[in-house]
Amino acid sequence: MSERFTYTNGERLPIEVLVFRMEPSVVEEFLALDHDVWTLGEALLPGFERIPFVSKEVWLDDAKPGEVTLVFVWESLDAWMQVGSTEIQTRLQSEFDARFSHPVELIAAPHEDSNHGIHRWSRFERLD
């Protein structure tokens, strides 16, 4: 049975959670641009030996059309803060805004409420 899953604990990897609200009709466009501008823009930054985050997930809730939750697992708080520099974020936000003309509202960022204290402690994953 243990050959069908992995279990890791004690990781303490920082988690970023962003929840956005927009018109349901623009979610697919938002997701495509988010991937092109933000995901790839942060993943392929010059000066990093590798992608500074471990993973990024996009969650949609059928009960809340137009709500998009993004969850990053960062390699370290230091890597996250480097990517979060004003210069990098301003450049990426400008590019995103130039290409996405619809209103979007950031409605939650729980990691900010906890002073970046949310972290992944363990992971249980099925192996395919």
* pLDDT value of residue 72: 97
* Residue 49 bridge partners (DSSP): none
pTM as predicted = 0.92
Over range 97-101, report the average pLDDT.
Answer: 98
83 burial class (0-12, 13-18, 19+ CB within 10 angstroms)? buried
In the chain, domain spans = 2-126
* pLDDT value of residue 2: 62
Region 2-126: CATH code? 3.30.70.100
* pLDDT value of residue 47: 87
pLDDT tens profile 17-69: 999 999 999 999 999 999 999 999 999 999 888 999 999 999 999 999 999 99
Q: What is the pLDDT of the chain when averaged over all its residues?
A: 95
Instruction: State the Cα–Cα distance between residues 64 and 71, nearest whole angstrom.
Output: 17
SS3 91: helix
Over range 69-96, report the average pLDDT.
Answer: 96
Q: Which of 26, 119, 123, 33 is nearest to 72 (CA)?
A: 119
